[in-house]
Structure 1
């Protein structure tokens, strides 16, 4: 996924010209190889990662991973939540996005969670964040 695969659609009406968004904009992801409409669960996962809600992101990930063999889901959730909380601090913000991904992949591997959606979501949103707000 890259910026060329992402569109924002806003319904136009005469009254909506006065405000930036009269209705909710729709984010559209385009990929010629795959087309899918995100479920409510998928949308929750995207939102959780975007707002750095580690607990919800980890819970959504476990739900998405129907075949996970995570022996201690509670520990996985707590560790992901702690990581997201740390990354929201000034010290954590110094951690390079690639290092964050490596840390998350290690948690997923250690806890035997069999899902890539979580990692891809995190990577895409981290990239957007750096493009939109480099500081």
Structure 2
């Protein structure tokens, strides 16, 4: 939704999501060839990002995929038009230190979403401003990943992030990844 449509449903909970799978009836032409379709209800709370916020958040996600703490911290500091972080240098250093740990064998055991949550804790502690729409997107992303983890614990979200964002032709990669996620 975010990368292709610049649209985020900001009220994601099980009551607002339906999964529809076409029935295999020989007399009817199957509209979706049995692949499930996600239907979002109650889109009263949504978010869109400005072009600069979208590019900055995308760069932040890429930094996560590359385990690049400095860039992730700098992008995070850019997620507000009015940044009031009292000590950006300390924030950047602390984020870099965390990313260095996450790149070790012990750190590899930490789930990527736990890394994102730890980054958000550093944001809070260092009083880094994040604009509301961007924050909505980040929280919604965490909620969706939590559902994904419950539905398929073996699914590697970091691998998908790396596949999506670090390939030269990310649009083709996105299409491939989405097709891979859909049931046959």
TM range (shorter): 0.5 to 0.7
Q: Is 1:95 aligned to 2:75, yes or no? A: no
Distance 2:57 2:117 in 1: 22
For residue 84 of structure 2, give the secondary structure of its aligned residue in structure 1: coil
- What count of residue pairs does the alignment treat as equivalent? 108
Pair member with larger Rg: 2
Give the drift of 1:98.
Answer: 4.7
Give the drift of 1:38.
Answer: 4.1
Partner of 2:157: 128
Give the drift of 1:131.
Answer: 6.1
Partner of 1:84: 99
Gaps of 5+ in 2: 10-45, 146-155, 163-184
Q: Is 1:48 aligned to 2:77, yes or no? A: no
For residue 59 of structure 1, give the secondary structure of its aligned residue in structure 2: helix
Contact 2:69–2:98 (CA under 8 A) maintained in structure 1: yes
TM-score (norm 2): 0.46
Distance 2:103 2:124 in 1: 23
2:85 corresponds, among 51, 57, 70, to 70
Q: Is 1:59 aligned to 2:74, yes or no? A: yes
Q: 1:132 to 1:62 in 2, by over 3 A?
A: closer
Q: CA RMSD in A?
A: 3.4
Contact 1:64–1:115 (CA under 8 A) maintained in structure 2: yes
Q: 1:66 to 1:49 in 2, by over 3 A?
A: same
Q: 1:80 to 1:132 in 2, by over 3 A?
A: closer
TM-score (norm 1): 0.59
